[in-house]
Each structure stands twice: as C-alpha cells, then as structure tokens.
Structure 1
C-alpha cells in the first residue's frame, strides 16, 4: 500500500499574552508559618490555647481533667500516646513486629487513636490491650536504653503501664462495647442477638 505524501499544514499557535502588573492591595495579609511541616511537635511542649472571640473557653471541669495525673484519664492518655508513637514511627513498627513474633503474638498491630470518634479510640485501646505484652516489652527496652539519663529523650516519655492499668483499660472497653451494643439495639430492635449461653444449652 502506498501512502500519499503529507503536506506541511499550518499548526495553530497562541499569540503572546502580555502580563498585566498586579496591583498590591492593603487587604491582603501574607501569613508566614515559621513551623516547618517536617517538624515533629510534642503535645507536652505545646502552649495552651489562647481564647479568642467567638470560640468557647475551656470550662473549669475540663481544666481539672487536664491537670489530673492519675486515674483512668491519665492511664488512657498514656496508652493513647504510646499507641500514637508506635503507629507514627516505622522503626517502632518494625520493632513491634520483631517482638510480636518473639512473644508469639499473632494479633493486630496498634493504631493511633486520633480524633474524637469513640470507635477509633475504642479500637486503638482494644488493640493495645491485646498487644500489651509487646507494648510492655517496647517500654522496657526504651527504659533500659535511657537508664540513668533524662527521660526527655525517651521515645515514650518514660511512661509505664502497670497490669492494673491494663485491666482498667480493658474494663472501660468492655463497658463501651456493652453500651454501644445497647444503644444500637435500642435504635434497631431487629439487631437484637439471639439468646445464647443459657444454662443447659449445649
């Protein structure tokens, strides 16, 4: 098959557009953020929020909760912080996998319980409770690494979680699970589970 020769045809081009000079406006405010995106911000070093007009101020009850350094609130803060630190560091995730296999833990890894959604916090704490032996090993390794040194460089801030604190976390999660199921069943009665586990049932 013979193809006809192609003739050079005109190809349309755009004409030159002269740029108009931009007029500076006094209304434009340039915001320069001195914080680098790569910078890791430690929540403990962060300053308290400044109350601005139009925003709600923290109540005295919430301020008291912030100052509480014991009890279930502080335990949950420790567990959440530890989970976030493990989930945010590839090195700690690899260390988690190493110690999980050494301790014969086959469950799921931890997730950072960010946000205000209760189900994410619940799932984060449930996974943490399931993997508590691995977490305790990571905490022990970090504590041994910084023995005799300032806890400021400690990856987990020198936090330790006792067995009683782990049981408190588990108890809270069990209450949340039962409560969420009861709310769900009250909204949709068709979701009521069939009764099982009665005496005499085999």
Structure 2
C-alpha cells in the first residue's frame, strides 16, 4: 500500500473525521513542501474516486457537494504550511450559464468540484450575455471557459458566445467545455466547443487533463 492510500481512500469514502485526523497528525510533523504536495495529490486522487463512484451511481449530487467541502477543508489546512507556494492554483476557469438560461445547480456543483481540485474559478452567474463572457475572458485571461445550460435554447446561446470569443480574437487562447443535458457530441461540434459533459466530476477530469 502506498504511503497515502489511506488518505485517498478516506476522501473517496467521504470519511471527513478520518481525513482531518490524518491531516492534523501530518501537519504536526512539520513536513517539507514535497511531502505536503504528495498529500495534496493524494487528496485529489480521493476526489477522483468520488467522481468514479458518482458515475457508477453509488453516490448522488449531495455526495459530490459534500466531497468538495471535505477537500476544501483539507486544502485549507495544508496550504498555510507550504514554505513555497507549490500549491499554486491548477489553472483558471471562467464559468457561467449562457444567455436565456437561469439554471445554476449543475454549474455550482462543477464550481465546487473544480475549486476543490485546485482551479481558480470565476463564476459570472446565470443568463450571461456574449459580451459578459468576452469582457471577463479579457479581464481574467482564463485557461478554460465553461458554459452551462439546461434549456435547448441554450445551445444557440453557447454558439453565439463561442462566435463572440472568436470575433474578439480570444478563442485560440482558451479551451471551452460545455455542460448541460441538451449538449451532445453533435451539439458540441456545432457550437464549437472543445469538450462537453453532463457530469461535473468528468468535467473536472477533462479540465485537469487540459492543464497537464
């Protein structure tokens, strides 16, 4: 068994008290930055297990939200003891629900999981115009733009947003991931996205793959 498999398993099993017990004991050893980073990686592996459990139907939406809270608590404990900021954010994600759609549950779950996975997430909210996305991309210069929508009308809004980013000369500098039940492989190609998902855990995995 690898050194931190127990921690990975505890996060994957949503055992909050066990996770914090392991981490508090670890922090008390005055670990090196390398050791802290190893523990952070083990935490992220645990989160991947949560995502796998969700995909199998063993976990539900509430479990995903709780796992994000546990991981955030874990990282908040670890980051202050890093002497060098090797825990720097994985990357930047700009996130928003497109114009004409007011749904945000899926977006918020993805936001929670992406933040817990180390991403710096900028959430511009619901019913966001093309201009709102374009202006925020210019401002924060994200690595990834996530567009969410549940209504079928959101598909055209997503396409307009991607077209707007192209017209602004910003499209080539970012990856675009689309989320929501209406989004299919064909719709993603039509809209001009790089990937799509209806699963927050899978979405985070895709984003981590892009940054690596």
TM category (shorter chain) comes to: under 0.3
Structure with greater helix percent? 2
Q: What's the TM-score once normalised by structure 2's chain length?
A: 0.24
Structure with greater strand percent? 2
Larger of the two Rg values belongs to structure: 1
Greater relative contact order structure (CA < 8 Å, 6+ sep): 2
Q: What's the TM-score once normalised by structure 1's chain length?
A: 0.25
